Amino acid sequence: MNDPARKKMVFRTLQLRFSPSLNRPCRTAGKNHLAIGALGEKIARVHLRAAGRRILSCNFRAPRGGEVDIVARDGKTLTFVEVKTRTSREFGRPLDAVNNRKKQLMQRGAQEWLRLLGTRDLPWRFDVAEVILLEGEKPSIHIVEDVVC
């Protein structure tokens, strides 16, 4: 196995298969919404890394207003990821919770990140990581790419 691309693929597969964060049954009982949100963000980061993304920043808060949960590279594309975590399916998809106010905060955060970086010429997009944590089950993670803000 001298092929670097194959080694990388095998590593990512093993990471997804054996990562405790992605394979341990969820224990959400008694946790407050902030703890559940932090757990969802941790699980999303592990999932994104295993999928080959490079995490650049977490919980970026722009000095001029705006916020981004995760800033990552997906190949040559910069991705601004909003993480939405649910402990039930009864209120719809986590993506449905990304309202206009949240989209404005994401846009401001992304614009400020690009301004601080000194360029806007990079390809970039908004993604949403949907994390569902059902008590006693493995986490469910779905990345919705190129969400319109």
Residue 78 lies in a domain: yes
* Domain tally, the chain: 1
Residue 20 lies in a domain: yes
pLDDT in the model for residue 11: 59
The answer on pLDDT for 134 being more than 80 is: yes
Mean pLDDT of the chain: 86
Which residue is listed with tokens 């986590």? 94
Tokens at residue 72, please?
A: 């990552």
**Which strands sit side by side in the sheet containing 140-144, from one edge to the other?**
54-61, 67-74, 77-86, 124-132, 140-144
| 7-42 tens-digit pLDDT | 665 555 555 555 566 566 666 666 788 889 999 999
Residue 27 lies in a domain: yes
Among candidate residues 133, 148, 102, the one with its CA nearest the CA of residue 27: 133
Residue 128 lies in a domain: yes
Q: Give me Rg for the CA atoms of the chain.
A: 16
| pTM of the complete model | 0.81
pLDDT in the model for residue 7: 63
pLDDT in the model for residue 136: 87
Residue 104 lies in a domain: yes
Residue 89 lies in a domain: yes
Which is more confidently placed, 21 or 67?
67
As a whole number of angstroms, the distance between CA 92 and CA 77 comes to 29
Tokens at residue 120, please?
A: 């806007």
Residue 10 lies in a domain: yes
CATH code for position 92? 3.40.1350.10
Please compute the mean of the pLDDT values over residues 78-82 and round it to a whole number. 97
Residue 149 lies in a domain: no
pLDDT in the model for residue 23: 60
Portion of the chain with pLDDT greater than 70, in percent: 81
As a whole number of angstroms, the distance between CA 81 and CA 140 comes to 17
pLDDT in the model for residue 22: 58
One-letter-per-residue 3-state SS of 13-32: HHHHHHCHHHHCCECCCCCC
Q: For residue 140, give its domain range.
A: 4-144
The answer on pLDDT for 137 being more than 70 is: yes
